[in-house]
Every structure is written in C-alpha cells, then in structure tokens.
Amino acid sequence: MEKKTKIVATIGPSSEKKETLREMIKNGMNVARLNFSHGDYSSHKAVIENIRDLSKELGESIGIMADLQGPRIRTSVENEIEIKKGEKVIISDISKNPESQSAGWRTNFKSFYLDCPGIIQDIEIGNTILIEDGLLSVKVIEKNSEFLKAEVIDAGIIKDEKGVNIPDAKLKIPPITEKDEKDLEFSLKNEVDFVAMSFVSNAKDIEDLRNKIKKILGHEPARNASHSDAGGNNLPQIVAKIERKEAIENLDEIIEATDAVMVARGDLGIEINETKVAILQKEIIAKSINSLKPVIVATEMLSSMIQNPRPTRAEVSDVTNAVIDHTDAVMLSGESANGKYPAETVKTMAEIIANTEESPYDDICNFNIRQELSNEYVNFIKNSCSLLANSNAKAVAILSRGGFTARVISHFRPIQMILVGTNNEKTYYQSSLVWGIKASLLKNGKIDEVIEYLLKKAQNDKLLETGDKVVIIGKNDDRKHRFVNIREIQ
C-alpha cells in the first residue's frame, strides 16, 4: 500500500541534478518546492524542466510549487553592534538621513536601521522587535516621526541583514514586493502548479495575489475549482503560508480565500509563543480539512539530516504527530535543498509516514465539512464514503476534472486508495498535494471506457490485482445521474 500523506521537498544545490530528483521521486517526493529567496531563474527553470520530464518518465503527478519570498524586514548596520540588557537603543529606517536626526536622539545611544522605508510609522510604543529568529529583542518605549527608542530585553550582537519580526505591529508593507512580481511572472510563464505566498495577513492579501495572477495570465478562470468539477482549473493554486500573528487572528477568512494552507512553523514560532505552535498546528490542520483545502506542515521536520544520515527521535515523533493530525503533506526545507542527504531524507520521511499510517493511531478521524460547503452533491459523496468504509474494497475510483470530488473523498481520509482519473493536466499535477490521491492523466471518452482504463492502469502499476474490489463513484455520460457501485477486478 502506498503512503497517503504527501511529501513536499525544497529543491536546491544538493538536489537540483536530474538523477537526484529521479531518486527523490522514487523515494516518495510528491511536490518540488522552488524557494525564490534563493537561486536564480536559470537554475529554477532547469529544475522545472527536469521535474516535468521525470513526471512523464515515471508516470507520477509531481507538482511544482513556487514559494515567493515576500516582504522580509532585515537589519541594516555598517558594523556589528553589541547591545546589553536594559540598554536603550535608537531605531530608524534606511530612508532617514542621519544628518536630520531630531532632538539629538542618536547622540548618546547606539543605533541601527531597518531596511524597509516608512516602517517606523507602523510600529507603536509597547511593540516588541525581534531580531535574528528572536535571539535578540527590544521593546519600544518612545517614538517620534522618524525614530524609535527601545529598551533591550534580550542582549546580543546586532549583525547586518538579519531577519526582523514585529508580531504586534499592523504593518502596511505591501505583501507582494517588486521581486515577488518578477518571480511570479517567471513562475507563471513556466506553468508552475502552486504559488506559495509568504507573510499573509488577511484574505485581501490572497485576493491581491489572485488578481495579479489573472492579470499576468490575461484571462479569468471559468469557475473556481474549489467549488466544482465542471470546468476544471487551469490556474496555479495559491498556498497561504501561516507565519504571522495577524494571520492567526484572521485564520478563518484566509482559509476561505486560499486554495491551500501551509503551517510555516519557523516565523510562526517567533511571532507566537513557541509553546503554542503544536496546538496551533492541530487547529490549522483541522480548519483546513473542514474547508476542503490541502494543508502542509513545514519547518525543521528532519533538520538534523542536513548534516546527519539519521534523524533524531524527536524529529521522527514530529513527523509522526503531523501524520496523525491528518495533514495532507509534510515538507522538507534545508534537508533537501542544501543538506548532505536529500534523497535519503525523503526516503526516511516516507518510511515514517508509512509506519504511522499502518498504525491504529492514524485511523481516528472526526472532521466535519463546513456547513457552507455542504450541499446535495457533497452529501452524496459523504454517503458513498460510508459505503466505502463498510466495504472490503481495496480502492475507490473516480473521474474528476477540477479536483473537487477528489478533495471531498480525501476529506474523509478513507483507508482505501483513492484512484483519480482526470483529463485536466493542471488538476493532475495539483492532486500531488492532496492526501491519499493517486492521479492518472486520461484522454476523453465514455465513462465506462475511461474507468476501465483507469482500473487497468492501476493493475499495470501493481496497485490492484485480480479479485480486488473497487468502489466506483461517478456520473453517467449525460452528467445528470450519479452512481456508486462496486466492481471486482477480473
């Protein structure tokens, strides 16, 4: 039995060669992530071409995700500055002229810049500024039109170009930077399947990105495939990265607006008390599944394997816990992008997933589809899944142009394989992120003929054998009548 939880692997210097990518796919990689915080267009393009070639060669629906960098805030200092607990420091942004400093604030205090023009106006007295993953922190105690005075809470050395988080500030920084727009154009030109958006704050951020995608592609979608199989979906799906405190406050509206969700635990663990991240992970997963949106758990899942051939016991437990939470996918970052063992890391993660899914602890699933998404068709699929659960079938087989039916079945996390046939190439690749789905790209034809081909292909792929029973869910050729039946493989 194949694993059902998908693996997203970040591609970088350690894994961009075609032979390494082939081995990673064979070991269980389902989605290749391109991190646009690193690399150049030539290397990204080569990876995209290699993944598409290998997907066809190996008969696997390997999705491609472009992860936009987003508006990162960083420190700007000419020389490193040591700050001590209780000491006062002055903070300004790089648009301010040092010669115009008012009230002589910087005369008697150490100072540093933030590299985002105008950001001082968005920061209030009482806000905490976290530097370098929260290793250093200062609290704002005074403010004027150009500068902040802050007291050092956690001491250390401020270095140039280190990341900054300001959890309580309502930042007005545009969520899509000029660099993001260029990266987005490149990604759409090369037909990626997913676009991940960093530092999402609210639903409007998602809609802004969606509008930019439509504008660049020069067309409107027929109908959002989140709600129907009728027209299919030829746009990349948006993955909202939940990594800001403000995103947690607006979680419900973000999930409703996006196509998929990522629990980006790195920055989230800085912006929110890190002791709450595991609980938030469970909440985000549950809400995403109830909204029929694929969800990914990311950050430091097997990070020790960047250097070591084996994970720590705690890392194994972390991946296991995410699988038991019923996440659609788990993600590798530095482990596969620049670690020593990219293919081995994918294999290790796949083994953890498989062992967990075989255990009884993975079988507890009490998710409810949001009331707004329930309708006659969804209830038909729900009842069909009840038949599936009470049968001795090995698989369920469906045809799904836009992917909606497949996501509804996946929502119920059946123990059987979910075989999905589609004639939509974008749906084929985007199914790579949905729990349990094994997709095949098929040609048009009569329903019985296409289903027969899907089942025969599953036999050839050694997923099914003679005597196995399969539950078939679908619509007749006139698309007016639904049916569900059980077929035995001959």
144, 165, 186 - which closes a domain = 165
241 in catalytic set: yes
In a domain, 363, yes or no: no
Residue 314 above 80 pLDDT? yes
Model confidence at 90, pLDDT cuts 50, 70, 90, reads very high
**350 and 383 in a common domain:** no
Do residue 332 and residue 243 come from a single domain? Answer: yes
Q: Look up the pTM and report it.
A: 0.91
Selected catalytic residue, list 74, 204, 212, 482 = 74
Determine which helix (DSSP H) or strand (DSSP E) holds 397, and give its type and residue range. Answer: strand 395-399
Q: How many angstroms separate the Cα of 47 from the Cα of each of 61, 182, 217?
A: 15, 18, 22
**Identified catalytic residue from 22, 33, 143, 149:** 33
- In this structure, the answer to whether residues 352 and 392 fall within a common structural domain is no
207-232 burial, b at 16+ Cβ within 10 Å, e below that, comes to eebbebbeeeeeeeeeeebbebbeeb
What CATH number does the domain containing 26 carry?
3.20.20.60
Specify the pLDDT at position 97.
53
74 tagged catalytic: yes
User: Do 411 and 330 lie in a common domain?
Assistant: no
Q: Which two tokens stand for residue 166?
A: 């300001």
Confidence of residue 228 (pLDDT cuts 50, 70, 90): very low
The catalytic position among 299, 320, 345, 348 is 299
Domain at 394, CATH number: 3.40.1380.20
Residues 248, 116 within the same domain: no
Q: Which of 149, 262, 253, 163 is nearest to 203 (CA)?
A: 253
What own/partner pairs with CB < 8 Å and gap ≥ 24 does 181-188 have?
181/212, 183/36, 183/66, 183/68, 183/69, 184/66, 184/68, 184/209, 184/212, 184/213, 184/216, 185/216, 186/41, 186/44, 186/45, 187/34, 187/36, 187/66, 187/236, 188/213, 188/216, 188/217, 188/236
Instruction: Evaluate if residue 146 carries a pLDDT over 60.
Output: yes
For residues 303 and 332, what is the distance between their CA atoms, to the nearest angstrom?
8
Residues 340 and 398 in one domain: no
Residue position matching structure tokens 């000029």: 178
Confidence bin at 171 (pLDDT 50/70/90): confident
Residue 362 lies in a domain: no
Distance, in Å, from the CA atom of 451 to the CA atom of 471, rounded to the nearest integer, reads 11
Looking at every residue in the chain, the average pLDDT score rounds to 90
Torsions phi, psi for 50 (to 5 deg): -65, -40
170 within a domain of the structure (yes/no): no
Region of poorest pLDDT, from 7-16, 95-104, 392-401? 95-104
- Residue 72 designated active-site: no
147 with 281, same domain?
no
* Mean pLDDT, rounded, for 186-195: 97
pLDDT score of 106 more than 70: no
Domain total of the chain: 3
Please check whether residues 59 and 198 belong to one and the same domain: yes
> Does 298 reside within a domain?
yes
Is 340 considered catalytic here? no
Exposure string over 10-21, b if 16+ CB within 10 A, otherwise e: bbbebbbeeebb
Question: Where do runs of H (alpha helix) occur along 301-442?
Answer: 313-324, 334-337, 342-358, 376-389, 404-411, 425-430
Domain range spanning residue 224?
Answer: 6-70+175-357
251 shares its domain with 398: no
The catalytic position among 22, 241, 401, 407 is 241
